[in-house]
Amino acid sequence: MLIGTLCVASAAFATTYVRVEKDGTKTYSDRPLPGGQPIELEPAQSYSTTQTPNVNSNLPREQQLLQQVDDFMYDRCSLTPANDSTFTNPEEVVISLSTFPMLRPFDLVVLTVDGQAVGTPGAMTFKMTPVYRGTHAVGATVTNRAGKVVCSASASFHVMRPSLNSPARR
């Protein structure tokens, strides 16, 4: 293994030679060329990943991973229907939450309509029926297993139910 590492390291530091041909093209080689000159090459382009969240490096590896999981937040959390949507005579309104990245299996979703929890805990959709006229506030909260909120969203929608006795009707 040491020999393989040394071979790779020596190849990385090898001298490169270049020779300009009569037609202007260049020939590169790792061996001396007749009429060629040694050249210095710039290092190859590299990529550095983004920094990971601050994790106490004095902690055991398992605790470091748990801390990273506990520091997690969803990038995006959105509800449908969209805020300020209006429905006329709906039989039902489907309320749903979408997250990015996708919901983790151990996170808990709670959907609310007009301040009351609806549906089954963990469900990302709820079919509201019947739907009464007026303005309704919907919300969603996602918590991790420690109870920390990792995502929340809210919106309002309006339901119109025109009356048969409406003065505008003829």
* Residue pLDDT, tens place only, 61-108: 777 766 666 678 898 999 999 999 999 999 999 999 999 999 988 899
Structure-model confidence comparison of residues 23 and 8, the more confident one = 23
The count of residues in the chain is 170
**Domain 74-160 class, CATH top level:** mainly beta
- Residues forming CATH 2.60.40.10 domain(s) in the chain: 74-160
Judge whether residue 129 has pLDDT over 80. Answer: yes
pTM passes above 0.85: no
Neighbours of 140 (CB within 10 A): 23
d(CA 125, CA 118): 10
